[in-house]
A and B are shown apart, each in its own frame.
Chain A
């Protein structure tokens, strides 16, 4: 498996957060949020580290990580492309946008492109139903009323800004 390099300073950042909150009951999910924010995903090592710091069995941490959609046990692309498959987007053709997106990048859902630039994720509702179908790249770049034909253009904008050129 792709082992995350052990970045000391990232673990330090996580530890200082854990020290602040560890006395609050039931804080595991909060800690995992922080860990994912720091590391980008939750590799096995990080899960083991969290378990040790919170004095919980690793199995419990793993159980929580795999229960919730938000936590990822796989790395993501530099640009996370979220295609909304909420009901409003679906009835307006988001399934076709998704098909085209995967085809264009030549990946499966949640698989990272070989250049590390993209991964495509299905999300359940971005709350922008009036703009359906909606695609969100990263945390901020919204694309509304997306048709399959717009997919190439959306992707190319991030290829230019990518680090692999």
Chain B
């Protein structure tokens, strides 16, 4: 490796790429070349650094200074000032909070609230190392845990350490990892499989992607350790096709691990041999369910099977198989290396360790955060997340995606762990957290998720295939103004039936968005049906756009933008909206500079005569 004086780490996570990371990187490289610095300053693309709302992000080492919201111009300035002259460029420094920090404080992540509360175990290397460089991974204790397991521990010791750590599956249900490993270990079979579930299908969750893209070796190492523990010779990583960069980087990591003797025959001189193959999914949410996933690895339609037998007894091609999710596996090497009690210092008794959450929706600091379990939602959403971007009231948070539920603001002091969230009718899920405010209609949110499960139901069992469809129809009826009070009861009853009688996790959890919104926001359902009102002014059937005569200046901006020509009025005279022609697209509100247009519920009668 060439000796460098500085390294510029640029975040190449999904958020930063969509914010223009590529052009910033090119600007850095161009400017460095111009000054002949390209041989002594390295520019490295890392995995997601977490603070996605501030992207594109970069960190300049050795000083460790964080820069945010970069543009090609900003990159050039940083090269000229920071790299050449050693002067920090204050206008692009990280603004993690509104508090006034000094230049020195702002620069260091330990002083920024967004980072200060985090404990990074699964994400320990993400955003810190060059994901394609195995030596950087090794320099941060990479493959030491594998070495310890192979040379100093029996497979039973490995399982015991994981058991003592209390590690539970981070993909959703929270099943104890060591129990799966132990059952598989005890099966008598010449062939066993270790599978990594990287079919991250929850909309709004992207922690697995960021581990695969930002630290692929951590998964190679963990799968090899797990393979040793259960006695498997072969591993599969099932990655969704939507993550091409993750597939590419993981493939490269597997190749390099082979070259270094960390995969293949007689790993590190031991008797243990193990290899990993990548299988690419093809866009089916149900394939996150373990039996469906195995069908898909076998090249079939991804339809789930009845359990038992459990995969650990009879899994892939009928052989004992363990399936762990990416984030779970990312915890394995540190636990083996530093011990169960080290891991247990974080989190709670029943939910030890840390969990990665993806914050999105109506929150200031969107992005990825890893925090100890047991942190309260309030701390997570306000201290780390920074609260609502416009300072509005946060109404609720939706956790666990289409399988989860909503948690209203009254419960924000609840600690985040598997049991507490389940008690509220939500789930931990994979860790996606969508923040909702007063503009979000709970009936509409429930309908959105049901629409998702209707499409993703594999169709094998009737309660899920037909039940979710009928539930969706009922929600459609309610949100379009056709609903009756008995529809609400019918919906609730049906939700319980689908939950109790579906074959797999998809159907069993699909009613959660309905049940939890009914539990906390039944009055919103009732307002739709009884009063023809959508309290959040979201459902088009119950709203009208109106122009306030005292504020309208007759600038015609709204009339020009209206796609259905529903706005009438002469220049400099008050405009009016033809409610029959209005399609309620909301474009007029966006262009009105005088705040003259607003939404009202219930809908108003048409007064415009053509």
Residues from chain B with Cβ under 8 Å of A71 in the complex: 282-283
Assembled-state Cα–Cα distance A124/B366 (Å): 18
Contact B301 A67 (CB under 8 A): yes
User: What residues of B have a CB within 8 angstroms of the CB of A68 in the complex?
Assistant: 281-284, 302
**Residues of B that sit less than 8 Å from A by CB:** 14-15, 17-19, 52-53, 55, 201-206, 209, 241-244, 277, 279-285, 296-302, 317, 358, 360-362, 366-367, 398, 401, 432, 434, 436, 440, 445, 448-449, 452, 458, 561, 563, 585-587, 590-591
Complex contact B585–A99 (CB within 8 A): yes
Q: Contact mask A109-144 → B, CB, 8 Å, 1/0? A: 000000000000001111111111010000100111
Q: Give me the 10 closest cross-chain CB pairs, A-B, nearest first.
A: A130-B52, A86-B203, A68-B282, A26-B299, A69-B283, A129-B360, A142-B18, A70-B283, A88-B360, A125-B203
Chain A residues with CB below 8 A from B367, complex form? 130
| Contact status A127-B587, CB under 8 Å | no
Indicate if the CB atoms of A30 and B452 lie closer than 8 Å.
Answer: no
Given contacts A32-B282, A88-B361, contact A128 B18 (CB under 8 A): yes
Given contacts A87-B434, A130-B52, A149-B561, 13 further A-B contacts (CB under 8 A): A25-B317, A26-B300, A68-B281, A70-B283, A87-B448, A91-B361, A91-B440, A91-B445, A93-B586, A124-B201, A126-B242, A127-B14, A129-B366
**A10 within 8 A of partner (CB):** no
CA distance A155 to B233 in the complex (A): 51
CB nearest neighbor in A for B586: A96
Within 8 A of B (CB), among A61-106: 63-64, 67-71, 85-88, 90-93, 96, 99-100, 103
| B-side contacts of A49, CB under 8 Å | none
Q: Which residue of B lies closest to A32 (CB)?
A: B282
User: Is the CB–CB distance between A131 and B15 below 8 Å?
Assistant: yes
- A25 CA to B300 CA in the complex, in Å? 11
Q: Is the CB of B591 within 8 A of A149?
A: yes
Sampled A-B contacts (29; CB under 8 Å): A24-B277, A28-B299, A28-B300, A33-B241, A33-B280, A60-B300, A67-B301, A68-B282, A68-B302, A69-B282, A70-B283, A87-B204, A87-B432, A88-B203, A88-B366, A88-B434, A91-B361, A91-B436, A99-B585, A126-B18, A129-B15, A130-B15, A130-B55, A131-B52, A142-B18, A142-B19, A147-B590, A148-B586, A149-B591
Docked Cα-Cα span, A147 to B53, in Å, equals: 17
- How long is the Cα–Cα vector from A25 to B361 in the complex, in angstroms? 42
User: In the complex the two chains form, is B206's CB within 8 Å of A70's CB?
Assistant: no
Assess whether A69 is in contact with B201, with CB atoms less than 8 Å apart.
no
B17 touches A128 (CB 8 A): yes
- Also in contact, A30 and B279, with CB within 8 A (given A64-B300, A68-B284, A87-B434): yes
Closest CB in chain B relative to A68 CB, distance in Å: 3
Most buried by B among A90, A129, A144, A149: A129
Could you tell me if A144 and B18 are in contact, using CB atoms closer than 8 angstroms? Answer: yes
Cβ of A38 within 8 Å of any chain B Cβ, yes or no, is no
* A4 close to B (CB within 8 Å): no
Please judge, given known A-B contacts A33-B280, A69-B282, A129-B366, whether A87 and B360 are in contact too, CB under 8 Å: yes
B587–A67 CB distance below 8 A: no
**CB contact under 8 A between A25 and B590, given known A91-B436, A129-B206:** no
Question: Can you list, as one digit per residue, whether each of A18-55 has a CB less than 8 Å from chain B (1) or not (0)?
Answer: 00000011111110110000000000000000000000
CB nearest to A60 among chain B residues: B300
* A65: nearest chain-B partner, CB-CB: B282
A70 to B360, Cβ gap below 8 A?
Answer: no
Q: Pick the residue among A24, A100, A124 that contacts B585 (CB under 8 A).
A: A100
In angstroms, Cα B375 to Cα A103, docked, is 46
Interchain nearest-CB distance for B38 vs A (Å): 25
For B436, list chain A residues within 8 Å (CB): 91
Q: Contact at B284–A91, with CB atoms within 8 Å?
A: no
With a 10 A CB-CB cut-off, give which of A30, A32, A88, A93 has the most chain B CB atoms: A88
Bound-complex Cα distance A76 to B440 (A) = 34
Q: Tell me the complex Cα distance, A147–B209, Å.
A: 27
B587 touching A149 by the CB < 8 A rule?
yes
- Whether B241 lies near A70 (C-beta < 8 A) is yes
- Report the nearest B residue to A92, measured CB to CB: B361
CA distance A13 to B200 in the complex (A): 31
Docked pose: A96 CA to B206 CA in angstroms: 24
- Is the pair A130, B366 in contact by a Cβ cutoff of 8 Å? yes
In angstroms, how far is the closest chain A Cβ from the Cβ of B171?
Answer: 16
CB of B302 within 8 A of CB of A67, answer: yes
B203–A91 contact, CB under 8 A? no
Q: Is the CB of A87 within 8 A of B361?
A: yes
Q: Which residues of A lie under 8 Å from residue B563 when comparing CB positions? A: 100, 103
Other-chain residue from B360, B361, B445, B587 in contact with A148 (beta carbon distance below 8 A): B587
Q: Are B299 and A129 in contact (CB under 8 A)?
A: no
Chain A residues with Cβ under 8 A from B52's Cβ?
128-131
Contact B361 A142 (CB under 8 A): no
**Whole-angstrom distance between the Cβ of B476 and the nearest chain A Cβ:** 14
**Cβ-defined contact, B301 with A64, below 8 A:** yes
Select B362's contact among A25, A29, A91, A128, beta carbons within 8 Å: A91
- Choose among A33, A88, A126, A139 the residue that contacts B282 (Cβ–Cβ < 8 A): A33
Using Cβ atoms and an 8 Å threshold, which residues of chain B touch A64?
Answer: 299-301
Whether B15 pairs with A128 at a CB distance below 8 angstroms is: yes
B-chain residues with CB within 8 Å of residue A149 when the two chains form the complex: 561, 587, 590-591
Distance of A131 Cα from B366 Cα, bound (Å): 9
Task: Say whether A67 contacts B284, CB under 8 Å.
Answer: yes
What residues of B have a CB within 8 angstroms of the CB of A129 in the complex?
Answer: 15, 52, 204, 206, 358, 360-361, 366
Q: Which residues of A contact B434 (CB under 8 A)?
A: 87-88, 91
Contact pick for A87, options B55, B297, B398, CB 8 Å: B398
Q: How far is the CA of A142 from the CA of B20 in the complex (A)?
A: 8
CA A145 – CA B277 in complex, angstroms? 37
Judge whether A130 and B53 touch: CB under 8 Å.
yes
The interface centre, meaning the residue of A26, A32, A96, A123 with most chain B CB atoms within 10 A of its CB, is A26
Residues on B with C-beta less than 8 A from A100 are 563, 585, 587
For A67, A99, A142, which residue has the most chain B Cβ atoms within 10 angstroms? A67
The complex places the Cα of A28 from the Cα of B362 at a distance, in Å, of 42
Bound-complex Cα distance A90 to B297 (A): 31
Chain A contacts for B362, CB-based, 8 A:
91-92
B398→A126 contact, CB < 8 A:
no
Residues of A within 8 A of B281 (CB): 29, 68, 70
Task: Provide the bound-state CA to CA distance between A71 and B281, in Å.
Answer: 11
Q: How far is the CA of A93 from the CA of B361 in the complex (A)?
A: 11
Q: Is the CB of A134 within 8 A of B282?
A: no
The answer to whether B298 touches A132, judged by C-beta atoms less than 8 angstroms apart, is no
| Complex Cα–Cα for A134 and B358 (A) | 16
Q: Of B15, B203, B279, B296, which is within 8 A of A124 by CB?
A: B203
Chain A positions within 8 Å of B55 at CB level: 130-131
Cβ B299 vs Cβ A29 within 8 A = yes
Tell me the complex Cα distance, A147–B398, Å.
Answer: 24
